[in-house]
Homo-oligomer: A and B are copies of this chain.
Amino acid sequence: MRIAIASDHAGFDLKQDIARWLADEGHVVTDCGPQSNARVDYPDFGYKLALAVTGGASDFGIAICGSGIGISIAVNRHPKMRCALVNEPLSAMLAREHNDANAIALGARLGGIDMAKACIAAFMVGRFEGGRHEGRVDKLSSPPFVPQTVS
């Protein structure tokens, strides 16, 4: 799959480890930054991730900050993004099945690399169930939740 990944400084090391793992697994990884663990602001990189996914360059996104909270809010500001903050695989799978999520957020200071991998693996296995969930997902990208200017 084509996977975009972004973090802040707190999530940088986990981002590097996950990106390497995904590439080793044969996926095409787009690294939206940052390129070091120097202090940055998570909204900037959540925004880059949203553009990488909504622009079609990536199938889904992985967003990482210290707790996952800040960057998940940032990604979800984009009306076409559905980013699920998860810390275990069941939530990651439900995010796909029920919410057709196109991104997951992880908290690098709260969970470790193996749990992160398990969440990402579950996310990739999950398939949107459609049906009754479809109208709800559509509403997330419809008025009053849009229009939103994203240039």
Contacts and interface: CB of A to CB of B under 8 A. Distances in A.
Interface in A135-151: 135-136, 139-140, 143-151
B66 A98 contact: yes
A89 to B, nearest CB: 12
A91 B107 contact: yes
Size class of A's contact patch? 35 or more
A148 B82 CA distance: 17
Interface centre among A47, A148, A151 (most CB of B within 10 A): A148
Copies, count: 2
A149 B146 contact: yes
Interface stretch (A12-20, A35-43, A52-60, A112-120): A35-43
A7 interface: no
Given A148-B146, A148-B147, A98 B69 contact: yes
A90 interface: yes
A135 B94 CA distance: 33
Interface in A88-104: 90-91, 94-95, 98-99, 101
Contact of A151 (B70, B132, B144): B144
